[in-house]
Each structure stands twice: as structure tokens, then as C-alpha cells.
Amino acid sequence: MAGRGHGLGRGLGLKIEPFKHPITMDPNYADKTWKILEDAIHEIHNQNASGLSFEELYRNAYNMVLHKYGDRLYNGVAAALTRQLQAVAARVEAAQGESFLKELKARWDDHIKSTQMIRDILMYMDRTYVTQQHKTPVFQLGLDLWRDHVVHHPVIQQRMLSTLSDLIAKERAGEVIERSLIRATTQMLVDLGPSVYEADFERPFLAAAADFYAKEAQAFIASCDCPQYLRKAERRLSEEVDRVKLYLDASTEAKITAVVENELVREQMRALVEMEGSGLVAMLRGDRFDDLARMYALLRRVADGGLALMRQVMGDHVKETGRQLVNDPERQKDPISWVSRLLEERDKYEAVVARGLNDDKTFRNALNQAFEAFVNLSPRAPEYISLFIDDRLRKGLKGASDADVEAVLDKTMALFRYLQEKDVFEKYYKQHLAKRLLSGRTVSDDAERGMLVKLKTECGYQFTSKLESMFTDIRTSRDTLADFRSRLATKGTDLGLDLTVQVLTTGSWPTQGAAKCALPAEMERCCEEFRDYYLNAHSGRRLTWQLNMGTADLRAQFGSRRHELTVSTYQAVILLLFNEADSLSYKEISAATEIPTSDLKRSLQSLACAKGKNVLTKTPMSKEVDEGDAFAFNDKFSAKLFKIKIGTVSASKEGEAEKNETRHKVEEDRKPQIEAAIVRIMKSRKTLDHNAIITEVTRQLQPRFVPNPAVIKKRIESLIEREFLERDPNDRKTYRYLA
């Protein structure tokens, strides 16, 4: 600081100086006083301070400083301390083995006590001389000198370190050691300053630990399986933390933890995760939640990629097992078990994440990605999932509680969410729903509606609007039919058979082209009657009969046995022919009924070739129906039940041709959606380059399906042709919107 003591006066032009008067002083004053003080210091050091007068010593020191002997006093103290500490060092050095640390601690305690006393005596010097001359205060000087002469004494330094290391090594090996001495030693080092602790103990300690754990990791990895290793690593980590708490400085905790994590976990993590037979994959296979949790907790400590590694290995495993699952040819034969299996797989991994992986979101995402990847590997996934729901809503839910129904459907929705081709699912769902509604075989209206609500929440109003109108049609049909019947009753008309009609809105239902067939007169009359009634009530509408979707109940007499047969409309038409003749050729049946060939064959097949339901006999006998075959009424038919349901041979799973047709329909339906998306985007952006359009269109359509870039390109070209867009004349990769 500039102008000590005079600063005040400078501004005023004044100078204030202490009053000076000549002091006559004993020329040996300094020597004498110092001698007293030196002796006192010596006594203090020898723990002999009881005979000293603090006041006198203080005054002496005070006077020395006052009389400008500060230098002399300070240097003298330093020299005295140094001498004493050299003697102390010699004593400590002499102590061997176990007594070494004890001696060190005892001397240290003494030194601190005496240095404190000396500091008190020299307090005036500390306040004035030391601050003015920028010297080290006495107490700190005492610590520094201790550091230099005792701790850094070559023999002591080396022995202290090796003693500490030996003790720690012993404890790591499981022996019981005297912790308090170590605690005292490390505390001493900390008191000497953080840098002393770090340089003289912590750094070598950490290096030794790294060395130790590197070796241990090698040994463990060679001898243990993965869960064992993880348990050991976990224990080591907690031991080291305890050690810090017991006898090291708190600042060491993070450092030693990092060392152990690095050696025991990070260095070995790949080997651990990928360990044959007991690594992550084995844990996942065996649902070993505790081991998974342990691995998760340990790898989470590795900031750079511990969990990423786990996620990746898990994702690959899920993808691989999933791939095998969806491509398993045996499972593909049965869509219901195919989907059930996927649901089980998902339940399993849900549990893994929830119970083994701390409910970690990133793992859940990885899981979802993996599922999405393999579920979509199978082009039939949308169809199978819809079939599964169909199965549940038909019969699977009978007897199940509402909550169970809800749970199964919710889980299935999770699979649905993975589907990239949601529009394909919609197609199938519509088909299956139509079958359920028309055959009146849905188990519960509530369940159906619940499913619809789920789809609506997932995909929005558009997705389900047609499905909803199907429900409306069924309800309206019920009313219409009731009205029709009451009209007939009032008119007194008897149709001779019980007609049920469902009026379906065109466009809302998956209708196959209205296949014609020649109805017997009594049936034809019913149809006419209904048509008249309906068109009368709703003028301007058109009715087309979808006979291929109908069913009929027939009463039949086989010898003496009577049965009621539930058959399709086509089958009923065929069977009624046998009222007139006992035997007919395929050609005759075909000519009389005009049923399309493939439908006719399927209908005949189920009437003549299905075991236990063969109400017709076929010559020659075989599984397939041929155009040269002949059919006869089977008099000898018998069955245990009165009511017999004869299904048409129709795969619940689609055949190759149907599949391609559905595929084609889906592709056609996508075109306008892709074009609409392109136009929507270009309308708002005006100009956009090719890749940006592809990205944006894909993003917009993602909730329904993932469009193929080549298809998008074709749509763009079509729009260019129709002059909705043009290419930028200067940059062919950029398109412009034409208003």
C-alpha cells in the first residue's frame, strides 16, 4: 500500500509524524531480549511452559518489534523452530514400524500446541511486522517448517507413504487396521494445506488404487461371471466411499470413485455387457431384474457411453429375437398366436425396464424403436394385429371382465402404435369389423366402441369416421327391419321365410363387387318386397344386394333325422336345388345358380368335403372341387347336434391374391393422400427443394404410413404434369407452387 500512515496527510499538505524523543537504550538490549524469548520457545517446545509468564514474554516481543528489531525476532524464531524441528525429524525417523505413525502423530500434536503458544506470544509481531513486511504469520510459518523439515524429510516422507499404503492395502485385503492413526496422518496433511495432502498422499494413493483395481479387474473378469463381477465392483465402490468417510479427506471421494469406476467398470464394460452366457443378453433372457438393476446402476456411472452401450446391446437383442419371432414360418401360420407372442415379448420388456432399468425413459425409447423395427419387418403385421383384435372381440373376451378386455386391447394398441402402415391396418380392421357386425358375432358393443375410441384417440377422427358409420348402419338397419316387419304384419303378407336385411352405406363398408346369383323364387320375392318397402320410404336411393355376405338358416331332413343348418346365402341357394333333384353335376349347379366360380367352389367344398358337415357327397371323393365333379344329397348324414353351422372355407388369413389386391388398394388410396400433402406443403412454402419436400411429406404422413420416396417422386411429377408445380428454371432440384 502506498504511503503507509502518511496517506491521510498528503491531500491536505500536512504530514503527521510520531513524536520523537531520544531513547537511550542498552546496546545489548536486543540480544538480551531475544535470549529470553529463545529460551522460552525452547521450553515451550519441550512441553515445559508452565513456568513462563505469558505477559512478560509478550511484552518482550512487543518491545523488540517496537524498537525495530522485528527482523531479528522473526528470523530468530524461524531459526529456532527449524532447529527444533530437525531434532523432531530425527526422533520420528528413529521410530520404526507401527510406532512410526504414533510418533509422528504425537510430535505433530505437540508441535501444533507449542506453535499456538508461540503465536500468542508473538501476536504483536504478527499484526504489525508480519503484515508490513509481507511475511508468513508465525503459526503458518510453524506449519511450513514442519512440512519442510518433517514431512518432506526424505526418509519420513517415503516411510509415511509406504506405511499408509501398506495399511490401506491390508484393509482392502480384508484385514482390520488401526484407522485412527491414518485418520490423524491424513488430517495432518490436510492441515498443512490441500496441496500438501494432494501431493504427498492423494496422488500416490490414487495411482496405487488405479494399479490395484486394474489388476483386480483382470482377475475378476477371468474368474467371475458377469453378475458376480458386478456385485464385487459394487462392493468395492461402497468400500472406497466408506474409506474416505472413515479416514480420508472428503474431497478424495469423487476422485477415488472415479478411479474405481474407470478401472472396474469403464475399462471392462464391453466385456461385461457382452459376456458370453452371463452378460446383458443372458440377464434379459432370464428376467434377472436384480442383476440388470446392478448393471444399470454401475454403467450409469460411466458418463461416456455406459448406458448407451447397454441400450444398444439391448436394442440389438430385442431386434434380433423379434426378427426371428416375426419371421418364424410356424408362427406365421397362426396370426393369433403370432400377435400373442409379440404381446408377451412386450410385457416382458416392459417389466425389464420398469423393474430392472429404473424405468429409464431412454431405454423405453430404445425398446420402442426396436419393436417398431421388427414389427414392421413383417408386411402382414397390420393384418395380423387386426385379426388378433377380431379374435378377441369375437370370442376371446367371453367371460373375461371388462378390465381384462381393456387391458388386452390397450396392449394391442401399443403394438398398433409401432405399425408404420396404419392405413393398411385400417383396411383390414374395416374388413374384420364388417364381418363381425354382419354376422352379429361381436361379443360386446361396449368393447367394440371402446376399441373405436382408442383408435380415434390414437389417429384422429378421420381414421374412424367410416368405422363409426358402419355402426350407425347396423343400428338403422335394426329399426328399418322392425318397421318392415310390422308393415308386413299389418298388410297381412306372409313371406314364407324370415328375412333379415342390413342396409349398408356404400363407401363405408369394404364391399366386394356385387356378385350376382340366381335366387330361388321364394327368396327373390322377399327381396322384391323389401326393395319396394325401402325405396318407398327413401326415394332416390339405390339398393344392391350383396348376397356373398349373407347367411341363411335351413331346416333339413336326413332320413329320419332333422337338423337346422346355418349356411351362407350361396350355400343355401345350392342346397335348395337338392329339393328338386337328388344328384347334380357341377355344371348343372353352376348354370342354375350363376354363382361366380371361385365362390361356388368354396361353397361346395365346405358342403361336401368338410368332415362332420358333409351334407352333400361328391364323386369322385377328394378334398378339392373340380368342374367335372358330381354332387348328391347325403341321406346318411348324421350329427350329434341339432344345429349345425357350416362355414365357408375361407381363410381367416388372406390368400396371396387377396393380399395383393388389398395391397394394391392401399397403394391407390395413398396416392391422393401423398398429393394432398405435397400441395398443402407447397401452398404454404411456395418454393422448396426436392429433399425438403420428401422429408416434409414423410413427416406429415408418418401417423398413417411411411411413404416410399420413389412414390412421392412420381406424385410430384404427376403434379408438375398437371401444372400444380413447376421446376425452377434455374435449379432443377427446386419446385415452385403454381397458384
Partner 1 sequence: MNRGSKIKEKEKASQFKTITGASDKVATECLRATGWSVEAAIEYFYSSGLQAAVPSVDMKGIEALFAKYKDAADGAIRAEGVGSFCEDLGVDPSDVVMLVLSWRLNAATMCEYTRDEFVGGLQRLGCDSLEKIKRRLPEMRGELKDPAKWREVYHYAFAWAKEKNQKCLQLDVAMGMWQLLFAEERRWQYIDDWCAFLQAHHNRAISRDTWVQLFEFVRTVKPDFSNFDESAAWPYLIDEFVDYMRQRQAVAED
Residues that bind partner 1 (CB under 8 A): 689-691, 710, 713-714, 717, 720-723, 727, 732-733, 738-739
Q: Least separation, in Å, of the C-beta of 738 and partner 1?
A: 7
Opening angle at CA 371, ends 369 and 375, nearest 5: 125
Residue 739 carries which DSSP code?
A: -
Of 109 and 689, which CB lies nearer to partner 1 in the complex structure?
689
Residue 545 carries which DSSP code?
A: -
Q: Least separation, in Å, of the C-beta of 369 and partner 1?
A: 24
In contact, 644 and 613? CB cutoff 8 Å = yes
Of 348 and 732, which CB lies nearer to partner 1 in the complex structure?
732
Q: Least separation, in Å, of the C-beta of 674 and partner 1?
A: 13
Of 364 and 727, which CB lies nearer to partner 1 in the complex structure?
727
- The CA distance from 329 to 699, in Å, is 33
- Cα 729 to chain centroid distance, Å, stands at 48
In contact, 688 and 681? CB cutoff 8 Å = yes
Opening angle at CA 177, ends 171 and 181, nearest 5: 120
- The CA distance from 60 to 76, in Å, is 14
Q: Least separation, in Å, of the C-beta of 717 and partner 1?
A: 6
Q: Least separation, in Å, of the C-beta of 677 and partner 1?
A: 17
Among the listed residues 445, 333, 343, the one whose alpha carbon sits nearest the alpha carbon of residue 385: 343
Q: Least separation, in Å, of the C-beta of 678 and partner 1?
A: 13
Of 153 and 715, which CB lies nearer to partner 1 in the complex structure?
715
Q: Least separation, in Å, of the C-beta of 383 and partner 1?
A: 29
Burial class, 355, CB count within 10 angstroms (exposed 0-12 / middle 13-18 / buried 19+): middle
The one-letter amino acid at 487: R
User: Helices (H), strands (E): how many in the chain?
Assistant: 33, 9
Of 449 and 732, which CB lies nearer to partner 1 in the complex structure?
732
Cβ neighbours, 10 Å, residue 42 = 13
Q: Least separation, in Å, of the C-beta of 736 and partner 1?
A: 10
In contact, 606 and 646? CB cutoff 8 Å = yes
Of 661 and 667, which CB lies nearer to partner 1 in the complex structure?
667
At 719, phi and psi to the nearest 5? Answer: -70, -35
Of 10 and 713, which CB lies nearer to partner 1 in the complex structure?
713
Q: Least separation, in Å, of the C-beta of 692 and partner 1?
A: 11
Of 133 and 708, which CB lies nearer to partner 1 in the complex structure?
708
Of 179 and 714, which CB lies nearer to partner 1 in the complex structure?
714
The pairing of beta strand 643-645 with beta strand 725-728: unpaired
Q: Least separation, in Å, of the C-beta of 690 and partner 1?
A: 3
- The CA distance from 8 to 13, in Å, is 9
Sign of CA dihedral 311, 314, 317, 320: negative
Of 290 and 689, which CB lies nearer to partner 1 in the complex structure?
689
Cell numbers 522473526 label which residue?
74
Cβ neighbours, 10 Å, residue 465 = 11
